[in-house]
Amino acid sequence: MTCNSLSSELSGTDDPLLETMTNILWLGFSDLPYPLKRCFLYCCLFPEDYWIIPRRVIRLWVAEGFVGKIGNMAPEEVAETYRIGLVKRNVLQVVKRNAVGRLKRCQMHDLMRDIALSTSRIQKFCGIYDAQEASNDSGVRRLQLFHSKVDDLRSWSGMPKLRSLLVFNHIGKISPDSLPLLLRTSKVFRVLELQAAPIEKLSDELANLFNLRYLNIRMTKVNELNNSIGSMNDDVVQNHPHFSMNGKTDVEVA
């Protein structure tokens, strides 16, 4: 019984042994360098037991501005050192490696994710909501929607500080007018992670998101890019799994 509910046991226990475990886990987080702390907290936006693709989370870290400059290293190379640091500290668990030992999949341990979630709520770093729970907290900066059955996003349009939206395992269909409304009321978006979301068309409001650094529309029902996408840069948008728009916005399309 304790094994199946260890997270709740650790959070509200008077048992000295379990309290010691909690303190050890918190020490692992507190000992992280500041750049790694933000990257660690960001990983809790992925659902529980979710297999994280390193390349994907690295691009998200870069887009969020978490990656500092080290010598002549590219931002992605610096972010890779952060990822290695989290794995070496056992904050991220290795799930799968390729034939030469390179990491292909990783995930957060449930207990470490609980620590990240509780810290994120206190710091308003992010919010995680299901179909039955909308937020009245206008200070939330990052939002994860998981297994949501709602057909629109208007419940979250009262978040003017919202800068990142990540949608996972969405069920049903997102109302066509709800995403544009959300983008109009939250104009500081840096990240739109909409992979596999049930959307059929991108909003023209994207052209007004001057801070946008990352847009993922892989496996959506979007079959063409709006002209407004082209107005965000002077380059021709290419149908490539990953391309950078003037070095500004990462767009995942394939």
CA atoms of 57 and 104, how far apart (whole Å): 12
183 pLDDT tier (thresholds 50, 70, 90): confident
72 or 226: which leads in pLDDT: 72
Tell me, what's the pLDDT at 161? Answer: 83
Res 249 pLDDT > 70: no
CA atoms of 252 and 217, how far apart (whole Å): 6
77 pLDDT tier (thresholds 50, 70, 90): very high
Domains of the chain: 15-111 (1.10.10), 126-252 (3.80.10.10)
Which range is least confidently modeled, 67-81, 91-105, 143-157, 226-240?
226-240
Q: Is 171 helix (H, G, I), strand (E, B) or coil?
A: coil
- pLDDT tens figures, 187-231: 889 999 988 888 888 888 888 888 899 999 888 888 877 776 766
Phi and psi at residue 44, in whole multiples of 5°? -70, -10
How large is the average pLDDT for residues 75-103?
92
Q: What's the whole-number average pLDDT of the chain? A: 79
Res 2 pLDDT > 50: yes
Res 85 pLDDT > 60: yes
Tell me, what's the pLDDT at 244? Answer: 40
pTM for the full predicted model: 0.81
- pLDDT tens figures, 91-139: 899 999 998 888 999 999 888 888 888 888 888 888 877 544 555 566 7
The DSSP string of 114-131 is HHHHHHHHHHT--EEE-T
How large is the average pLDDT for residues 39-51?
92
Tell me, what's the pLDDT at 58? Answer: 95
